[in-house]
Amino acid sequence: MTKIQDDILSYREMCDSENKQTLQRGMNFRLNPSYSVILMSQRSNAPYKDKIYDDGITIEYEGHDISRKGYNHNPKAEDQPVKLPSGKLTQNGLFIKSINSYKSGISKSEIVKVYEKIMDGVWSLKGYFELIDYKIVDDGKRNVFRFILRLSSSQDINLTNDEIIIQHTRLIPSEVKKEVFKRDRGRCVICGEIKNLHFDHELPFSKGGTSLTTKNVRLLCMKHNLEKSAKIE
Ligand SMILES: [Zn+2]
């Protein structure tokens, strides 16, 4: 089933929707012929994770460390690499190459599908983004990459014509999603369903509702979410 922005998925459902047995890496350049996939997950010791800009549609995503495999240094003390010792580009390198190509007008921006981990076994589709820029930041110990992704104006890349297209709204911070999921006990607030859940803005952004507090966000099942969308239109 096609997933839309702010849908909730189990790890299995997430892998299934990408036709993969497992998804182990955070950054997956061109996982699919038409897009890349990023998994965001909040590590407790990282204050800048999941940074959403004030425009409500742009996120910053940190690049990846040098692989721990066969490596007896601390990856957290090393600059994030663009290349492997073999000269092959790392995921950072592949993303940067694509940004440079976009910025010099050679290609369109890479489409990146972003999933976020809400808690163990609970994931949510943050949406489809355009990979538009990156910067190199000194985090106090070393240089890291921060990738800049802007929510794409089309969130219907996988949708076929007969499916309902729901307009994207502003991004809900992962922390807000986590609190809402706990508060609503992983159930639709109307019928108690536990499958095919979605984070819903009670008052839509277009009508002045906010994504930034738990008060305006709730869990709805697919049925109740579609019923609501039908009413708004
Ligand atoms: Zn329901």
Q: What is the distance in A from the centroid of ligand 1 to the CA of 196? A: 9
What separation in Å is there between the alpha carbon of 152 and the centre of ligand 1? 28
Q: How far is the CA of 1 from the centre of ligand 1 (A)?
A: 18
Judge contact between 38 and 27, C-beta under 8 A.
Answer: yes
Q: What is the C-alpha R_g of the chain? A: 18
Secondary structure (3-state) at 123:
strand
Residue 32 to residues 20, 131, 149: CA-CA distances in angstroms? Answer: 10, 15, 18
Tell how far the Cα of 195 is from the centroid of ligand 1, in angstroms: 9
Q: How far is the CA of 141 from the centre of ligand 1 (A)?
A: 48
CA of 218 to the centre of ligand 1 (A): 11
Q: How far is CA 50 from CA 61, 70, 74, 199, in A?
A: 7, 29, 24, 17
**Alpha carbon of 188 to ligand 1 centroid (Å):** 5
CA of 12 to the centre of ligand 1 (A): 22
Whether residue 48 is predicted with pLDDT greater than 70 in this model: the reply is no
- Summarised one tens digit per residue, pLDDT across range 121-130 is 999 999 999 9
Burial of 41 (0-12, 13-18, 19+ CB in 10 A): middle
Percent of the chain with pLDDT over 90: 66
Amino acid 75: pLDDT: 85
Give per-residue pLDDT as tens, 186-217: 999 999 999 999 999 888 877 878 888 899 99
Q: Please give the C-alpha separations between residue 229 and each of 9, 147, 166, 232, in angstroms, as whole numbers.
A: 20, 33, 8, 5
